[in-house]
Amino acid sequence: MNTHRPRAMLFALLMDLLWGDPPNQLHPVAWMGQAIALVSKFTRSQPPSHALVSGGLLTLVGNTSIYFLGMILERLLARLPSPLNWMLEGACLKSTFSLRGLTRAASQVKEALDAGDLPEARRLVSWHLVSRDTSQLDQHAVAAATIESVAENASDGIVSPLLYYCLGGLPLALVYRFTNTTDSMLGYRDAAREWLGKIPARWDDLINLLPSRLTAILICLASLVQSGNISRAWKIIHRDARKTASPNAGFPMSAMAGALGVELEKRDHYRLGEGQRLPEKKDIPTSIHLLKLASFFAVLLLIWMPSHPSRKTSLNSPNGNCYWR
Position with higher pLDDT, 24 vs 85? 85
Does pLDDT of 318 surpass 70?
A: no
Residue 41 has what pLDDT? Answer: 82
Three state DSSP letters for 24-64: HHHCHHHHHHHHHHHHHHCCCCCCHHHHHHHHHHHHHHHHH
Q: Is 244 left (phi over 0), alpha (psi -120 to 50) or beta?
A: beta
CA atoms of 254 and 272, how far apart (whole Å): 6
The vertex-295 CA angle with 293 and 271, nearest 5°, equals 80
Q: Check: CB of residue 150 under 8 Å from CB of residue 289.
A: no
Check pLDDT > 80 for residue 322.
Answer: no
| pLDDT surpassing 90 at residue 306 | no
Residues in the chain: 325
For the chain, the domains span 5-306
> What mean pLDDT comes out for the span 55-74?
95
Sign of CA dihedral 249, 250, 255, 260: positive
- Average pLDDT of the chain is 89
Report the range of poorest mean pLDDT among 107-111, 129-133, 280-284, 296-300: 129-133
Q: Taking Cα atoms as reference points, which of 20, 11, 45, 85 lies closest to residue 192?
A: 45
* pLDDT tens readout for residues 93-104: 999 999 999 999
**Residue 262 DSSP label:** B
Which residues sit opposite 299 in a β-bridge?
none
Q: Give the separation between CA 120 and CA 127, rounded to whole angstroms.
A: 10
Q: Which of 178, 198, 190 is nearest to 35 (CA)?
A: 178
Q: At what angle do helices 198-207 and 209-226 cross, to 10 degrees?
A: 50
Assess whether the previous peptide bond of 83 is cis (omega < 30° from 0).
yes
**CB distance 55 to 196 below 8 Å:** yes
Q: What is the C-alpha to C-alpha distance for residues 271 and 35, in angstroms, rounded to an integer? A: 36
Look at residue 315 in the predicted model and tell me its pLDDT: 36
* Strands (E) located in the chain: 264-266, 270-272
Q: Which residues contact 117 (CB under 8 A, 6 or more apart)?
A: none
Q: Report pTM.
A: 0.89
Enter the DSSP assignment of 80: S
Written as one letter, the residue type at 45 is S
Confidence of residue 128 (pLDDT cuts 50, 70, 90): confident
Q: What is the mean pLDDT of residues 216-241?
A: 93
Which is higher by pLDDT, 3 or 182? 182
For 72, half-sphere exposure in the C-beta direction (CA atoms, 13 angstrom radius) is: 6
